Amino acid sequence: MRSTRLLACVPAEPMSSSIASALGNVRQKLAEAASAAKRPAPRLVAVSKTKPVELLREAYDAGVRDFGENYVQELVSKAPEMPDDVAWRFIGSLQSNKAKTLVHGVPSLACIETLDSVKLADRLQKAMDDLSPRRATPLGVMIQVNTSPWEGSKNGVLAEEAQALAMHVVVKCPSLRLCGLMTIGEPGNLACFDTLRSCRDAVAAQLGVEAGSLELSMGMSGDFEAAVAKGSDSVRVGSSIFGAREKKA
Ligand SMILES: *Cc1c(COP(=O)(O)O)cnc(C)c1O
């Protein structure tokens, strides 16, 4: 690893133990929230945007395999620095013209959680078609739903638009697999999680599949326990694991 010299400058012990212990803390809270809700523990996605690969490795060594990243270039450069069995999840805003860079640059990309247009779905399908050698498995996608449109700031389709996009993926994009729906929601407004859940139920009914076959990705550092109570299958936790992020300039 390129990182050894860098790490030699700082005391490795407190750094590694702080990520491992933060993770232990989050896992414990997740387990408690899941057991209170009488549900299986959801997937814990460690959101590592802006964090150096050294810290991702600490998390990997503490057992994390699901990592979430927000920026295409950052993910494409980090992926080869991490072991092959990492299941990368892209959770940032994705422009259609970056679809190919992302799909071709990250062989172990498990899921893009921020699908928000037919155009992007078609570009992802095309990127999969152009891949050589072809992937053995379809690329997972989740539809991002804007459950707080009054905020005017969040990406994603409106809840009532999700069914048409889901149908497009299932019918027209054979190399994509619709895994579920994702939302951020308004901080502190738990009704956003209910909105995602009913949107998921409506999509499943229209597709004629069990609601449980479509996952709900909801819950971040500030609200993952509440999200689990509301039925989350996959939580995206960054700062509670890796510490606060520098504000983007
Ligand atoms: C950054 C980010 C997260 C993690 O946020 P924290 O509050 O640090 O846990 C989760 N989901 C998305 C979409 C993000 O962009």
Within-domain flag for 73: yes
Over residues 41-50, the pLDDT tens digits come to 999 999 999 9
Residues within a 6 A CB radius of ligand 1: 47, 49, 70, 91, 184, 220-222, 236-240
Predicted local distance difference test score (pLDDT) of residue 246 = 85
Within-domain flag for 71: yes
Residue 2: pLDDT band with limits 50, 70, 90:
very low
Concatenating the DSSP letter of every residue in 232-244 gives -SEEEE-HHHH-P
Is residue 240 scored above 80 in pLDDT? yes
**Cα 217 to Cα 227: distance, rounded to the nearest angstrom:** 9
Within-domain flag for 234: yes
69 Cα: distance to centroid of ligand 1 (angstroms): 9
Over residues 215-224, the pLDDT tens digits come to 999 999 999 9
208 Cα: distance to centroid of ligand 1 (angstroms): 31
**Cα 179 to Cα 111: distance, rounded to the nearest angstrom:** 8
Neighbours of 198 (CB within 10 A): 11
Over residues 101-155, the pLDDT tens digits come to 999 999 999 999 999 999 999 999 999 999 999 999 999 999 999 999 999 988 9
How many domains does the chain fold into? 1
Identity of residue 236 = R
Ligand 1 atom showing the smallest separation from residue 224 Cα: 9
Predicted local distance difference test score (pLDDT) of residue 138 = 98
User: Whole-number mean pLDDT of the chain?
Assistant: 93
Is residue 8 scored above 70 in pLDDT? no
Predicted local distance difference test score (pLDDT) of residue 248 = 57
Within-domain flag for 249: no
118 Cα: distance to centroid of ligand 1 (angstroms): 24
Within-domain flag for 168: yes
Is residue 3 scored above 90 in pLDDT? no
Predicted local distance difference test score (pLDDT) of residue 44 = 98
Nearest C-alpha neighbor of 104 from the set 76, 142, 70, 85: 76
Predicted local distance difference test score (pLDDT) of residue 17 = 66
Within-domain flag for 247: no
Distances (CA, A) of 237 to 32, 117, 137, 222: 16, 25, 26, 9
Within-domain flag for 248: no
Domain holding 218: CATH number?
3.20.20.10
Ligand 1 atom showing the smallest separation from residue 240 Cα: 9
The mean pLDDT of 233-244, rounded to a whole number, is 97
Of 50, 69, 220, the one to substitute when testing ligand 1's pocket (max ligand atoms within 8 A of C-beta) is 220
Enter the DSSP assignment of 249: -
**Cα 67 to Cα 56: distance, rounded to the nearest angstrom:** 8
Within-domain flag for 226: yes
Q: Which domain holds residue 146?
A: 2-242
**Cα 29 to Cα 1: distance, rounded to the nearest angstrom:** 33
Distances (CA, A) of 201 to 40, 113, 181, 196, 237: 19, 18, 10, 9, 25
> Which residues have CB under 8 Å from 90's CB, separation 6+?
68, 69, 70, 72, 75, 102, 106, 109, 111, 112, 113, 114
Protein residue whose Cα sits closest to atom 5 of ligand 1: 238
Ligand 1 atom showing the smallest separation from residue 113 Cα: 13
51 Cα: distance to centroid of ligand 1 (angstroms): 13
Rounded to two decimals, the pTM is 0.92
Concatenating the DSSP letter of every residue in 88-128 gives EEE-S---GGGHHHHHHH-TTEEEEEEE--HHHHHHHHHHH
% pLDDT > 90, the chain: 91
Ligand 1 atom showing the smallest separation from residue 184 Cα: 13
192 Cα: distance to centroid of ligand 1 (angstroms): 16
